[in-house]
Amino acid sequence: MKIDRIELHHIKIELVSPFTTSMHQLKDVEHIIVRVDSEGITGWGECVAEANPFYSYETVHTAWHILEDFLIPSILRKDILNADEAIKINKHVRGHLMAKAGLEAALWDLFSKSKNISLSKMLGGTRNKIDVGVSIGIQNSEAELINNVEGYLNEGYKRIKIKIAPGKDIQPIKELRKKFPEILLQVDANSAYGLEDLKIFKEIDSYNLLLIEQPLGYDDIYEHSKLQAELKTPICLDESIHSLDDTRMALKLKSCRIINIKPGRVGGFTESILIHDYCASKKIPVWHGGMLETGIGRAGNIALTSLPNFTLPGDISASKKYFKEDIVEPEFILNKDGTIDVPVNDGIGVEVNVKALEKITVRKKIYT
């Protein structure tokens, strides 16, 4: 398909409540929405680089630069057969995986629409609904945390993940476990600890958690293997995994027993599927992480999660957990059984509300 036109939107959308982690506090989400037009069909993708370089070195501005100066020129006005080909064209661009994934997502949407099939089908999905959980930021008090968790459990969410940081770890876990002894509970440290904190993890190990996400260095694989050897709770890597090669290394070194997949972090759906398939062959469960996406990115995440080895609930919550008004129609809602339906319409399967998109756009550029 000949790529006629690409549009970038730097968006800024307010969260219904601030999201606090060991690395940042977000009051709103800044991402880039990518629109690709070809032969009368429109594809949409979301680049999840954030306003700051605290989770990843990429930011909304570095991603814009890489998209504008390198990725877009290499495919604009060219005849592209599929998303894989677009990736191959940009292989010489090192890193900048979120920028690449945003464009790749728009192309996947475009190509699945051109074939009149859903993105889920196109990616190899096998489920029509996916199990979901919530990711809860660090709260001001344990009472507030318990209150929030209770609310989400009542809505039907299947699994609770809380963010932890030094000094805000054992106590909240202990209180939650006391109040909710049976729930699926996991924690995410976002690299806030070192091997010298072994004592803390030994204690966390006694609370029957589903997993401990990214406790150590954001690019570390080796030290996680040392920590994993000391714990019965599975470690799950997020930040450290950027590719199939990283995944292989982490599993070889026994650095983790579960992998979190985020297309933005690994360069898109193509690499995500390679990681998914490799983990399946090694009997390692994967689950889908989240980057507080709007409905555009969320739709892609849901399609990817419909693949068979996504056996743990994802960080994919309903639109209203994040935003007062989402920019897709229909917005994503939680079923009573803690699932979200996988869209069946062509491509991402939801319509973009262009008016709502324009309202949150702070910078826009069209490339022809």
Closest CA to 101 of 285, 296, 323: 296
Minimal distance, residue 21 CB to ligand OSB, in Å: 6
Closest CA to 30 of 63, 74, 72: 63
What does each C-alpha distance from 69 to 228, 261, 354, 363 come to in angstroms?
Answer: 42, 28, 25, 16
Positive or negative torsion for Cα 214, 215, 220, 221? negative
Are the CB atoms for 142 and 175 separated by under 8 Å?
yes
238 binds Mg ion (CB under 5 A): yes
E-strand stretches of the chain:
5-20, 25-38, 41-47, 129-131, 134-136, 159-163, 184-188, 212-213, 235-237, 258-261, 286-288, 328-329, 339-341, 351-352, 361-367
Point out the catalytic residue in the list 113, 161, 163, 168.
163
What binding mask, one character per residue, do residues 28-67 give for Mg ion by CB under 5 A, x or -?
----------------------------------------
Find which of Mg ion, ligand OSB, none residue 137 binds, CB within 5 to 8 Å per kind.
none
Find which of ligand OSB, Mg ion, none residue 46 binds, CB within 5 to 8 Å per kind.
none
326 binds Mg ion (CB under 5 A): no
Find which of ligand OSB, Mg ion, none residue 240 binds, CB within 5 to 8 Å per kind.
none
Burial of residue 55, with CB atoms counted within 10 A of its CB: 0-12 exposed, 13-18 middle, 19 or more buried: buried
199 classed as catalytic: no
Find which of ligand OSB, Mg ion, none residue 349 binds, CB within 5 to 8 Å per kind.
none
Smaller CB separation from ligand OSB, 238 or 271: 238
What binding mask, one character per residue, do residues 33-62 give for ligand OSB by CB under 6 A, x or -?
----------------------x-------
Smaller CB separation from ligand OSB, 313 or 349: 313
262 classed as catalytic: yes
Minimal distance, residue 254 CB to ligand OSB, in Å: 22
Q: Which of residues 120-159 bind ligand OSB (CB under 6 A)?
A: 135
What binding mask, one character per residue, do residues 170-209 give for Mg ion by CB under 5 A, x or -?
------------------x---------------------
Point out the catalytic residue in the list 262, 283, 320, 365.
262
Minimal distance, residue 191 CB to Mg ion, in Å: 9
Closest CA to 332 of 289, 303, 361, 362: 303
Closest CA to 185 of 153, 226, 227: 153
323 binds ligand OSB (CB under 6 A): no
Find which of ligand OSB, Mg ion, none residue 55 binds, CB within 5 to 8 Å per kind.
ligand OSB
| Secondary structure (DSSP) of 260-282 | EE-HHHHTSHHHHHHHHHHHHHT
What binding mask, one character per residue, do residues 271-300 give for ligand OSB by CB under 6 A, x or -?
------------------xxxx--------
| Secondary structure (DSSP) of 297-336 | HHHHHHHHHTSTTB-S-BS---HHHH-SS-SEESPP---T
Catalytic residue IDs: 163, 262
Query: Which residues in this chain contact ligand OSB in the complex, by CB under 6 A?
Result: 55, 135, 188, 190, 238, 289-292, 315, 317
